[in-house]
């Protein structure tokens, strides 16, 4: 049994992670602002993680083997966590995102064209941090989501007094009504109604992960592995937007109707005009076994179609 703290953990794969940690016999503490209670038997600390004095007071004398941070979006939040958890946790795992590799910010890779990007392409040890930017402005944060995650990783890597790992998640799908982003429902509904899907002329593939697989990987990262640094989390197999639409159509009926947008135009979710795929080789070498996207995507589409019908 390990003592594990989960910051966030109120919905989707975060809640599933909490359930699986508890079911595995670990002593789990959840920290959130109280909108959703954790399962019975899980300790619940209601506090805003951005309020440092309140967070420190809520933690009290508690110590943890591992802390899993599901809701760190800025370098300011990361710096607060570094101070609050100093001496309180042996290891810290942050949920990050594929968005950290957005070529619009990181620039082109030195890899051959369309090669899945490895973790070292964005090295948090060298990424600049600017805590004085307006990170508390919701509109600014939404527009700079990827940069906030990059800078948060950098703060933990350089300033944390504990072992630190980040899990850079691919686009998460599955779960029917649980999929709060609504992106899979978007395709199911539009294809079912024969409505247009806006795509780039040369849409490039990206990578995905099922929400249950991401919960499994976070469970593994927290309890079964001591790796540090970033690790990419994505199922095997890549899909572009047209291939994704074809899977949705095969499961839910209808025929995809594509409308090509001009360069720089707004397209549907998961239509990318720049390379957006990660390599999952490091996680495999560390011992995690991924599914293939073909193994679970049809079922996820079916779950979503049943909810949106």
* Ranges of each domain in the chain: 3-308
pLDDT at 57: 97
pLDDT at 211: 93
- The set of residues, in sequence order, having a beta carbon less than 8 Å from that of 214 and lying 6+ positions away, is 13, 167, 169, 172, 233
Tell me the CA distances in angstroms from 130 to 36, 74, 134, 230, one per residue in order: 32, 10, 10, 20
Mean pLDDT, the chain, whole residue set: 91
CATH assignment, 3-308: 3.40.50.720
Find the angle CA(73)-CA(284)-CA(110) to the nearest 5 degrees: 70
In tens, the pLDDT along 149-163 reads 999 999 999 998 999
Residue 68 DSSP SS3: strand
Tokens describing residue 148? 């906030």
pLDDT band at 276 (very low <50, low <70, confident <90, very high): confident
Task: Evaluate if residue 109 carries a pLDDT over 80.
Answer: no
| Alpha carbons within 13 A on the beta-carbon side of 205 | 18
Whether 275 and 103 have beta carbons less than 8 Å apart is answered as: yes
pLDDT at 136: 93
Task: Evaluate if residue 47 carries a pLDDT over 70.
Answer: yes
Q: Give the residue from 71, 101, 67 showing the smallest Cα distance to 84.
A: 67
pLDDT at 177: 66
Q: Give the residue from 47, 87, 102 showing the smallest Cα distance to 71.
A: 47
pLDDT at 274: 83
Helix axis angle, 241-252 to 293-308, nearest 10°:
60
Q: How is the chain split among helix, strand and coil, in percent rounded to 5? A: 40, 20, 40
Q: Give the residue from 169, 133, 138 showing the smallest Cα distance to 151.
A: 133
DSSP string, 79-116: HHHHHHTTTTEEEEEEEEEGGGG-HHHH---SSSTTPP
pLDDT at 182: 83
In tens, the pLDDT along 173-188 reads 987 666 777 888 899 8
Tell me the CA distances in angstroms from 2 to 41, 63, 178, one per residue in order: 15, 11, 28
The burial class, CB within 10 Å (0-12 / 13-18 / 19+), for 196 is exposed
pLDDT band at 196 (very low <50, low <70, confident <90, very high): very high
Choice between 112 and 254, residue whose per-residue pLDDT is larger: 254
Q: Give the residue from 47, 52, 48 showing the smallest Cα distance to 79.
A: 52
Most confident of 75-84, 202-211, 271-280: 75-84
């Amino acid at each position: 049994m390990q003592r594990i703290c989960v910051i966030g953990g109120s919905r989707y794969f975060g809640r599933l992670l909490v359930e699986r940690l508890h079911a595995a016999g670990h002593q789990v503490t959840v920290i959130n602002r109280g909108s959703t209670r954790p399962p019975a038997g899980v300790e619940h600390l209601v506090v805003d993680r951005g309020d440092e004095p309140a967070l420190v007071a809520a933690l009290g004398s508690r110590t943890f083997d591992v802390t899993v941070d599901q809701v760190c979006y800025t370098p300011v939040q990361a710096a607060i966590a570094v101070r609050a958890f100093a001496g309180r946790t042996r290891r810290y795992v942050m949920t990050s995102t594929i968005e950290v590799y957005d070529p619009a910010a990181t620039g082109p890779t030195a890899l051959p064209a369309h090669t899945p990007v490895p973790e070292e392409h964005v090295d948090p040890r060298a990424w600049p941090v600017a805590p004085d930017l307006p990170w508390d402005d919701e509109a600014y944060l939404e527009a700079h989501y990827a940069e906030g995650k990059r800078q948060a990783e950098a703060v933990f890597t350089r300033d944390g007094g504990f072992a630190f790992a980040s899990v850079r998640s691919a686009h998460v799908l599955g779960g029917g009504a649980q999929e709060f982003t609504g992106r899979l429902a978007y395709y199911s509904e539009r294809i079912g109604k024969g409505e247009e899907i806006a795509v780039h002329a040369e849409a490039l593939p990206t990578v995905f992960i099922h929400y249950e697989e991401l919960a499994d990987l976070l469970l593994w990262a927290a309890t079964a592995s001591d790796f540090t640094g970033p690790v990419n989390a994505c199922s095997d197999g890549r899909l572009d937007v047209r291939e994704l639409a074809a899977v949705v159509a095969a499961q839910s009926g209808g025929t995809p109707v594509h409308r090509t947008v001009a360069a720089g135009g707004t397209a549907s979710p998961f239509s990318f005009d720049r390379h957006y795929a990660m390599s999952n080789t490091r996680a495999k070498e560390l011992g995690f076994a991924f599914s293939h996207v073909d193994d679970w995507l049809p079922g996820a589409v079916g779950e979503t179609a049943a909810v949106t019908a």
